[in-house]
Amino acid sequence: MFSTITSAPAKQSVSETITILSGRLSSAALLEDRRAAILGLRSFAKEYPASVASGALRSLIGSLSKDGEDVDTVKVILETLLMLFSPNQDSPEASEEIALWLADEFTQRQENITLLLDFLETSDFYSRLYSLQLLLAILSARTERTEICVFTAPLGISRLVSVLDDRRDAVRNEALTLLTYLTPSSPDIQKLVAFSNVFGRVFSIIEAEGSLSEGDRIVEDCLILLANLLRLNPSNQSLFREEGYIPQLAKLLESTYHSGKEGEEEVALWAQEQRNRNIYALLAVIRLFLVPGAVGTSRNQAVFWQHGVLYHALQLAFSHDAEMSIRAEALTACADVIRGNSKLQETFAQLQIPSVLETAPPASNGQTGKANSIPAVYVIDGLLDLTLSVPTAQAFDLRLAACQCIKAYFFNHPGVRLHFLRRAIDGHASGVDETANVLTTLLRPSNGPGPIDPYRHWFAAVITFHLVFENAEAKALAMAVTEGDAESGEEVVTSIQTITAHLVSGLAKLDDDRISMGYLILLIGWLFEDLDGVNDFLGEGSNIQALAQEVIRHNSNSTIVQGLCAMLLGVAYEFSTKDSPIPRSTLHSVLTSRMGRDKYIDSLNKLRCHPLMRNFEVLPQKADGTGNLPEVYFDTTFVDFFKDNYSRMIRAIDRDPGMEISVVTNGIQKGISREMVDSLRAQLDEKERELQAILVDMASLNGNLGQEQADHRRTKETSAAELARIKNVNVAIQQHHEEEIKKIEAQQRSKEEAHQQLLEAVQKEALSAVEAIRADFRVKEAELQRQLDYVRKTAEAEAARIQRRSEAEMADLRATISRLEVDLMKANKAKAEELHATREEFTAKLSAEELKTKAAEKRRSDFEKQLSQKDKELKESQAQIKEKEEKRSATQGELDDLLMVFGDLEEKVEKYKNRLIELGESVSDGEEENEEDEDEDAADGDVD
């Protein structure tokens, strides 16, 4: 009996509970009930995100809109939505598709994103923070659609940017992160954010966080946001420049290399790494203004120079306290500032920087030495020292950046390039400071017992390659440099032969490939389209044999060196001439016999397909961090040059030795086939003979032309006399013609006056006829109006008579109805009195006379029969009343029909009148009255 009481209640499943909570959320009328349902859903959001989202997502969003003024409810809803975006990884329902589905629900309706942006207007901490986090989650899932929704929302971007002013770090940092992820790819959003005064807010945050030296990840995020706004966006760069934020960049850059407080404790490793990241991000922002070929690059370069950005970047690059990677990036930024700007290139060499070869002396009292105790040198000397005299592998990136800066110094500026080359030649000739001279490094390599720095020679060769590349004057200056003193009996060797000798020697001694590659790159760029240089190169025949032997060597480990040697031989053959030390035909036979056409083409193909050449643009040209020499062999300009001329070099070996290549150098054409010259001379002699024959024919033609001209003059004089006679005749004819015209005009005027008088008379007659017609019309119109008024009055009188008759009948019907109603009331009263009397009699005799019940019942039935009879009579009276009403309605209908008949009669009378008038008959008033009387009699008969 009591077994049902002790049994446990049935357990609800998770899905059922979520369904119940979802239904309660959507149907609850009270705020407390909805909040309780949301709290229940929040407890399931982490473990069962799919179930909660499928059942309650739209209700949650709807409650967010409905209960937006309640801070606690908004907080709970936003927390639940955030949990749905980031569920537990071990949840059985966890999936990446849930975030996409949630993001779709928000982004498919603009008002959902606008709702989240509206919460940024509140001052509540959690409403702002969770709204920003939710927007970031939606942006991560559906980036493009979220960008569109935020961009089109009213004041959406402005409200996001204004959150950067929030004094609460968590909210501000979240807004910064959201803007960072919102701005990388949309130029429209970038412009809108920039024009919302974001630059000033970002610099305020950087300063509040301790600038670059003491700032944490927030400073880096600020700089990333700046980079997003400025990357390839000229309008934002112009706004940044015009609003005066370039000095802010210079100030931040200046703070990077100034030493800190004396006695300051060592900075933690993580803080130092973050500081380096901040500085690197700042330099990246600066380089965004200096993209080669961009619209505002030259203007940005001038502004950076004006506000000292270049100077501070140089000081940072040569600061001994900065990291190598930071110094390398600073030098790259310096190269971008001056590249292609002739004015800055000319001024750049006047700057001074701390020497890289000197270190600060140790200071007393345990303090570090100051940077200003290091001697200063001019920047070009410092860059050369850094490039050629710092042999450590760890400093490779810095050396490469210094080399880039030197190349940018004379990039596209022939004057600076020649000045640099002359200074190098003078320094090499004087023998002063041989360590930092590119020509000395190439022509007099060090052969000491210490380890050889291969990149010293490589950098020197690359710099020299850029000095002479596509510059005939620079090539001539460099080729004029010689080694050896003729007065002392030494053999004088040109610079090209000296470099080639060092190349051949290095190949024989198996020196590092980077040294050989540097020499080969330089020689290829130097000899290309330089016939004098090729002749100098071919002055030593053994060089050709050594290079060909290197190409066909089987145990060579470097396909790059073999390919470059093959290309050098191809360049030498391509631009050799018949007068070269090794004639062109001889050189071709040597190459084909010693090296072979197939081996030549195969070496070039292997070089073109080598990963370091093929993928040069995508491979990082920097040290790998292992301490070994980096895999950097080529220069950007040389790679472009090789790929552009690869096909030409492939075809060079197949070109006929008798055909020389024509090259124009300094306005002088060089290199043409002798056979072609002889052929052209023969053609010239033949053309000369033809020209003489043509001159004779021309003289004969000139004589004929003179005769023709004399005949033409005589014909011209005769024509002039005839023309004068014709003019006189024409004048007489013209005078006679004018007189005839005047006579005709007088006759025409008289005819026009007669026609005008006739026209006026006709017009007067027409006007009088019109007036007569109008008067007759007015008389007839008045007569017809009188007839119409009479007919209308007659019809109205008849209608009044019929209406009086109908009213009389209506009065009779009403009297009958009243009489029947009185009879009915009397019958009802009599029946009521009889019932009352009977009831009293039955009540008095009920207890004593039970035997008379049947009689009373019979009497009661009689009374009921009488009552039914009276009811029947009442119904008959009502039927009669209804019948009278129907007769009245019929009478009214007949009256309406009569009115319609009268209307038809009026129309017929009008038609008859019009027809009689048209037939010319006159209609008198008596006839109209007789017709009206007849119509009235007919109408009375019909009514009766």
Q: How far apart are CA 273 and CA 213, in angstroms?
A: 10
User: Per DSSP, which regions of 635-773 are E strands?
Assistant: 663-665, 668-670
Least confident of 190-199, 257-266, 410-419, 530-539: 257-266
Question: 35-71, pLDDT tens digit by residue?
Answer: 888 898 898 888 888 888 888 889 899 899 888 889 9
Computed from CA positions of residues 257, 263, 264, 269, in that sequence, does the dihedral angle turn out positive or negative?
A: positive
Query: Comparing 941 with 742, which gets the higher pLDDT?
Result: 742
Q: How far apart are CA 48 and CA 28, in angstroms?
A: 23
Q: Please answer whether residues 457 and 515 qualify as being in contact, where contact means their C-beta atoms are separated by less than 8 angstroms.
A: yes
Q: In this prediction, what percent of the chain has a pLDDT beyond 70?
A: 87
Amino acid (1-letter code) at residue 560: I
Q: Please answer whether residues 313 and 333 qualify as being in contact, where contact means their C-beta atoms are separated by less than 8 angstroms.
A: yes
Question: 830-864, pLDDT tens digit by residue?
Answer: 767 776 776 676 566 666 666 656 655 777 777 67
**pLDDT reading at 370 higher than 80:** no
What average pLDDT is seen over the chain? Answer: 84
Least confident of 234-248, 275-289, 626-640, 881-895: 881-895
Q: What is the model's pLDDT at position 888?
A: 74
**pLDDT reading at 239 higher than 80:** yes
Query: Comparing 422 with 788, which gets the higher pLDDT?
Result: 422
- Could you tell me the pLDDT band of residue 671, with boundaries at 50, 70 and 90? low
Q: How far apart are CA 749 and CA 755, in angstroms?
A: 10
Give strand pairing partners of 483. 493
Q: How far apart are CA 276 and CA 134, in angstroms?
A: 32
Q: How far apart are CA 663 and CA 538, in angstroms?
A: 18
The pair of structure tokens assigned to 735 is: 């005078």
CA-based angle 586:587:588, to the nearest 5?
90
Q: What is the Rg, in whole angstroms, of the alpha carbon atoms belonging to the chain?
A: 58
Q: How far apart are CA 866 and CA 873, in angstroms?
A: 11
Q: How far apart are CA 324 and CA 394, in angstroms?
A: 8
Q: Please answer whether residues 799 and 852 qualify as being in contact, where contact means their C-beta atoms are separated by less than 8 angstroms.
A: no
Question: 121-150, pLDDT tens digit by residue?
Answer: 999 999 999 999 999 999 999 999 999 999
Least confident of 186-200, 345-359, 535-549, 728-742: 728-742
**pLDDT reading at 873 higher than 80:** no
Q: In this prediction, what percent of the chain has a pLDDT beyond 90?
A: 45
- Could you tell me the pLDDT band of residue 3, with boundaries at 50, 70 and 90? very low
Q: Determine what percent of the chain falls in helix, strand and coil, rounding each to the nearest 5.
A: 75, 0, 25
Q: What is the model's pLDDT at position 901?
A: 76
> CB under 8 Å to 742, separation ≥6 — which residues?
none
Average pLDDT over residues 270-274: 90
- Top mean pLDDT of 651-655, 657-661, 784-788, 846-850 is at 651-655
Average pLDDT over residues 202-215: 93
Q: Please answer whether residues 88 and 47 qualify as being in contact, where contact means their C-beta atoms are separated by less than 8 angstroms.
A: yes
Residue located via tokens 């309008």 = 235
Average pLDDT over residues 337-359: 91
The pair of structure tokens assigned to 516 is: 């050989």
Short-list 689, 690, 687, CA closest to 679: 687
Short-list 287, 199, 179, CA closest to 248: 199
- Could you tell me the pLDDT band of residue 5, with boundaries at 50, 70 and 90? very low
Average pLDDT over residues 401-415: 95
Q: How far apart are CA 538 and CA 584, in angstroms?
A: 10
Q: What is the model's pLDDT at position 349?
A: 93
* CB crowding 629-660: b at 16 or more within 10 Å, else e: ebebbbbebbbebbeebeeebbebbeeebeeb
